[in-house]
Amino acid sequence: MIDIEPQVWEMLGRYIGAGLALGLGGLGAAVGMGIAAGQANEGLMRQPDTQGYMLRTMLIGQAVGGSPSIFALVVGLLILFLPSGRLEGAHFAAAMVGAGMSIGLGCFGSGLGCGWPAGKACDGVARNPRHTTSVTSSMVIGQAVAQSPSIFSIVIALMLLFVVTAPDSVLLTFGMFVGAGIAMGAGALGPGIGSGQTASGAVHGTSRWPESAGLILRTMLIGQAVSQTPAIFGMLVSFILLLGVGDVPLGLMGLAVTLGAGISAGFGGIGPGIGSGAVGDAACQATAAKPRLDTLILRTMLIGQAVSQSTAIYALIIGLLLLFVF
């Protein structure tokens, strides 16, 4: 038997947690900003006269789309330098790794998602420079909503850093904290990407048919709200794991139940989030082209999104069965 010192556990947790937070959390925003810059270049190639508007739109899009990576930076620094008073040793390490998972995966999705509307906005400025204002405002609203999954993941990461209390069993603690981090982080990944796709469809539609901007905004907000349900499922399971686990078994069985529930509810939300976002993207563009068909398109969008969420509901059921039946 090797005994690992508590300080070594704490360092291990800090380094892995901060690495996950910044490594994953920075990745999405970086790709997203690159998409925006790429589209700006493509637009300027076609319309060099629009460079004043283009620079402004690109920078606003990148600044808003970059905020998930700043959230990840702040939480990453907290993970590295937070004094370990409340939790100690391996328990502290588990909380840090869980917080890193939550913020890293959650900010990855929103950062990537915010890049597409920024790119489409740059494309739209080149296409239709007179409507720069309506395109930019549609982009900012879409990006702001696409960031809410990353805000959910901050809540869970901060709870792991400042609020939670750990049971004695190390294996159960590890399952609870890392499971909650995976449930929230992976659960926010798909909705972040999906809401961004919906926003990109709306920005594209607004740039081509600025007169239907109001209807497009409505379709976009409904589509984004529905595509964020898997993130809510993930947050629900994280809250249960962090606050409300009643009598789960201790030891290895506790680890299996809690980590399994987190993986199921979290990863199960990725596909439905992305899929519902793709529906919203197509629906926004269709509404833009044919505003008089908006009710019919909205109905089809909602049916399609509801069906594509069914697997997220199965995953939630398996997660809750693991937590409450075993």
Partner 1 sequence: METSTIMSLLNMVATQTDAGITNETLISASSLIGAGICMGFGAIGPGVGQGYAAGKACEAIGRNPQEAGLLTRTMLIGQAVAESTGIYSLVIALVMLFVIGG
In the window 235-264, what residues touch partner 1 (CB under 8 A)?
A: 250-253, 255-257, 259-264
Binding status of residue 169 toward partner 1 by CB under 8 A:
yes
Q: How far is the CB of 136 from partner 1 (least distance, A)?
A: 25
In the window 82-101, what residues touch partner 1 (CB under 8 A)?
A: 90
Q: Which of 192, 226, 217 is nearest to 137 (CA)?
A: 217
Among 20, 140, 159, 278, binds partner 1 (CB under 8 A): 278
Q: Return d(Cα 118, Cα 140) in angstroms, integer.
A: 8
Select the span of 18-26, 42-50, 71-79, 281-289 touching partner 1 (CB under 8 A): 281-289
Radius of gyration of the chain (CA): 21
Under 8 Å between Cβ of 36 and 62: yes
Among 86, 158, 300, 324, binds partner 1 (CB under 8 A): 300
Q: How far is the CB of 261 from partner 1 (least distance, A)?
A: 6
The 175-194 site mask, x for binding partner 1 (CB under 8 A), equals -----------x---x---x
Select the span of 57-65, 67-75, 121-129, 303-311 touching partner 1 (CB under 8 A): 303-311
Q: Return d(Cα 64, Cα 94) in angstroms, integer.
A: 32
Q: How far is the CB of 2 from partner 1 (least distance, A)?
A: 6
Q: Return d(Cα 110, Cα 5) in angstroms, integer.
A: 37
Binding status of residue 71 toward partner 1 by CB under 8 A:
no
Q: How far is the CB of 161 from partner 1 (least distance, A)?
A: 22
Q: Return d(Cα 239, Cα 265) in angstroms, integer.
A: 12
Binding status of residue 205 toward partner 1 by CB under 8 A:
no
Q: Which of 142, 153, 137 is nearest to 224 (CA)?
A: 142
Among 96, 178, 213, 274, binds partner 1 (CB under 8 A): 274
Q: Which of 295, 11, 21 is nearest to 156 (CA)?
A: 21
**Which residues lie closer than 8 Å to 99 by C-beta, 6 or more apart?**
17, 21, 75, 79, 156, 157, 158, 160, 161, 181
Among 168, 244, 246, 247, binds partner 1 (CB under 8 A): 168
Select the span of 10-18, 31-39, 54-62, 282-290 touching partner 1 (CB under 8 A): 282-290
| Sign of the CA dihedral running 144, 146, 148, 153 | negative
Nearer to partner 1, 45 or 325 (CB): 325
- Count other Cβ atoms within 10 Å, centred on residue 175: 28
Q: Return d(Cα 216, Cα 87) in angstroms, integer.
A: 49
Q: Return d(Cα 129, Cα 131) in angstroms, integer.
A: 5
Under 8 Å between Cβ of 209 and 288: yes
Binding status of residue 216 toward partner 1 by CB under 8 A:
no
Q: Report how many residues bind partner 1 under the rule CB under 8 A.
A: 70
Q: How far is the CB of 263 from partner 1 (least distance, A)?
A: 4
Binding site for partner 1 (CB under 8 A): 1-2, 90, 168-172, 174, 186, 190, 194, 250-253, 255-257, 259-279, 281-283, 285-287, 289-290, 293, 296-297, 300-301, 303-305, 307-312, 314-315, 318-319, 321-322, 325-326
